Amino acid sequence: MFKRDKLRILYVQVRTGYTAEHETAAILKYSKLNPEQLITFNALEEKLSENMAEAYDGVFIAGSGEFNVSKGQPAEQMPELLAFIKYTVEHGVPFLGMCYGGQLLAKATGGTLEYAPERAEVKSIRMDKSKEAASDVLYEDMPDSFMANCGRSDDITELKNCVLLASSDLVKNHAFKVIGQPAYGMQFHPELNQKENRERAHWTLTESEYAEKYRGKVDVDAVLASIDRTDHACSLIEKFVTRIVLPLAQERHG
């Protein structure tokens, strides 16, 4: 039988530099994949073909940092990103979109987004499961409410052809699944637990190109102290690999 350690996941990045490296390490940790199983492709540096996912058992797209789906960013790569996701979903390749990746999934499947800084969530947020989540293989054993780390200003205002799985007090369409396909999206960061989010926040506030605007205005220690553990949210990546990707790969490979 095809084993888990034979899986190959295409990880499409829309980041560069420190955050790209940090994100890769976090996804490896919470997916419980070996490094050779996660094949990284940077869409900012290479051209993404729409059928590329056919050679893999699943696809991840996570955050972007500086880009907003609502603004069509990055402008040069947006058409190929959307075409790639649409093809991937339509051909039944398992897809997990995290934060920016989830927003791309919503856009590619007919949903709408808007830039909504007044509804921005840049902290640990409580998520509440929908009724439909109780019968979803990925969310069925998640608690009714769980904490997740967020860092978003875009908001998915409408989903099309999707089932809603989780919401926050401020944002309705936080987690969802495409109807009839093994494709999941979430606007929170399942790859960032307390440790990883504190590292990312500390870097952003003290070392990144944005650090100067925060200096003297933001209490870094207070920000770090406010970041909660998000164990349940972080379990979703490994569950996606084990419960969604692996069974389909076993059917495919025999």
> At residue 210, does pLDDT exceed 90?
no
For residues 118 and 96, membership in a common domain is answered with: yes
Answer for the pair 103, 164: CB distance below 8 angstroms, yes or no. no
Answer for the pair 94, 57: CB distance below 8 angstroms, yes or no. yes
Dihedral Cα 93, 94, 98, 101, nearest 10 deg: 10
Q: Which amino acid is at 19?
A: T
pLDDT band at 246 (very low <50, low <70, confident <90, very high): very high
pLDDT attached to residue 66:
85
For residues 221 and 123, membership in a common domain is answered with: no
Tokens of 146: 């769980």
Question: Quick one: average pLDDT of 166-180?
Answer: 97
Question: Quick one: average pLDDT of 232-242?
Answer: 98
Task: Give the tens place of pLDDT for each residue, 3-30.
Answer: 999 999 999 999 999 999 999 999 999 9
Which residues span the domain enclosing 219? 194-228
Cα angle 85, 87, 238; round to 5: 50
> At residue 67, does pLDDT exceed 90?
yes
SS (H, E, C) 107-171: HHCCCEEEECHHHCECCEEEEEECCHHHHCCCCCCCCCEEEEECCECEEEEECCCEEEEEECCCC
For residues 161 and 198, membership in a common domain is answered with: no
**Residue whose C-alpha is closest to residue 186's, from 211, 152, 219:** 152
pLDDT band at 170 (very low <50, low <70, confident <90, very high): very high
For residues 157 and 72, membership in a common domain is answered with: yes
For residues 73 and 93, membership in a common domain is answered with: yes
pLDDT attached to residue 192:
97
Question: Quick one: average pLDDT of 185-199?
Answer: 97
Answer for the pair 116, 85: CB distance below 8 angstroms, yes or no. no
Task: Give the tens place of pLDDT for each residue, 37-60.
Answer: 999 999 999 999 999 999 999 999
pLDDT attached to residue 213:
86
Tell me, what CATH number does 248's domain have? 3.40.50.880
Q: How many domains does the chain have?
A: 2
What lies within 8 Å, CB to CB, of 208 at 6+ separation is 18
> At residue 253, does pLDDT exceed 90?
yes
**Pairing verdict, β 38-42 and 9-13:** parallel
> At residue 163, does pLDDT exceed 90?
yes
CA distances from 239 to 142, 157, 196 (A): 11, 27, 19
As a whole-number percent, the residues of the chain with pLDDT over 90 amount to 92
Task: Give the tens place of pLDDT for each residue, 115-151.
Answer: 998 988 888 999 999 999 999 999 999 999 999 999 9
Task: Give the CB-side neighbour count of residue 54, counting CA atoms within 13 A.
Answer: 8
**Residue whose C-alpha is closest to residue 234's, from 65, 29, 55:** 29
**Residue whose C-alpha is closest to residue 69's, from 16, 107, 118:** 107
Question: Quick one: average pLDDT of 81-107?
Answer: 98
For residues 101 and 124, membership in a common domain is answered with: yes
For residues 181 and 198, membership in a common domain is answered with: no
For residues 11 and 48, membership in a common domain is answered with: yes
pLDDT attached to residue 51:
97
For residues 220 and 97, membership in a common domain is answered with: no
For residues 98 and 208, membership in a common domain is answered with: no
pLDDT band at 214 (very low <50, low <70, confident <90, very high): confident
Supply the mean pLDDT for the chain.
96
For residues 145 and 208, membership in a common domain is answered with: no
Long-range contacts, 34-39 (Cβ 8 Å, 24+): 34/5, 37/5, 37/7, 37/8, 37/9, 38/9, 38/11, 39/8, 39/9, 39/10, 39/11
As a whole-number percent, the residues of the chain with pLDDT over 70 amount to 100
Angle subtended by helix axes 18-31 and 194-206, to nearest 10:
180
For residues 115 and 211, membership in a common domain is answered with: no
pLDDT attached to residue 122:
85
